[in-house]
Amino acid sequence: MASCLFRVLARPQVLKFASLRAVSINSLNIQHRNIHITRTFCQKYFTEKHEWVDVPEGSNVGTVGITDYAQDKLGDVVYVQLPDVGQELEVDGEAGVLESVKAASDIYSPVTGEVTEINEVLNDTPKKINESPYDEGWLYKLTLADPQELEPLMSEEGYNEYLTTIE
């Protein structure tokens, strides 16, 4: 398609017409539009059990998943059992199960709260956890019962430092 368009535009009569119709950029009436951008900053918090929770600034809803380290150690994920929407989870309580070609592993909740959404994509393609553990491979979202439970969790830098002590 692009090569056909180029051939039409490259014809001398088209180029001549285009140059006759050309207008100086200074003579154009340019409209200015104000664009307002609201940035949402997220903060990932990590546990020693290799789960993370991502909470947008000013929100009480967190997205939960497992870390890249955890998915790598687990191997290819082949089955996911996630909590039910509406289920109440306790901090460090079981939230589901991941099964891989190597082993099965429990998922623990990094915070207390009520599950508001699960990642339905994982039912058909659990490998998303391996491919994109921090984006498309998230597990569930929950409303935090107590945002202060985030305080003892590690930052990304702290988690990376923690990884150096366990390997």
Distance between CA 83 and CA 81 in Å, rounded?
7
For the chain, the domains span 42-166
Mean pLDDT in residue range 13-34: 46
42-166, CATH topology level:
OB fold (Dihydrolipoamide Acetyltransferase, E2P) (2.40.50)
Nearest to 56 by CA among 41, 44, 46: 41
End-to-end CA distance of the chain: 54
For residues 145 and 71, the answer to whether their CB atoms sit within 8 Å is: no
Q: What is the pLDDT of residue 136?
A: 96
Scan for tokens 């490998």, then name that residue. Answer: 127
Q: What is the pLDDT of residue 43?
A: 85
For residues 130 and 67, the answer to whether their CB atoms sit within 8 Å is: no
Q: What is the pLDDT of residue 108?
A: 97
Reported as a single tens digit per residue, the pLDDT across 68-113 is: 999 999 999 999 999 999 999 999 999 999 999 989 999 999 999 9
Reported as a single tens digit per residue, the pLDDT across 31-74 is: 545 554 444 456 899 999 999 999 998 899 999 999 999 999 99
Distance between CA 125 and CA 78 in Å, rounded?
8
Q: What is the pLDDT of residue 41?
A: 52
**Residue 47 DSSP code:** -
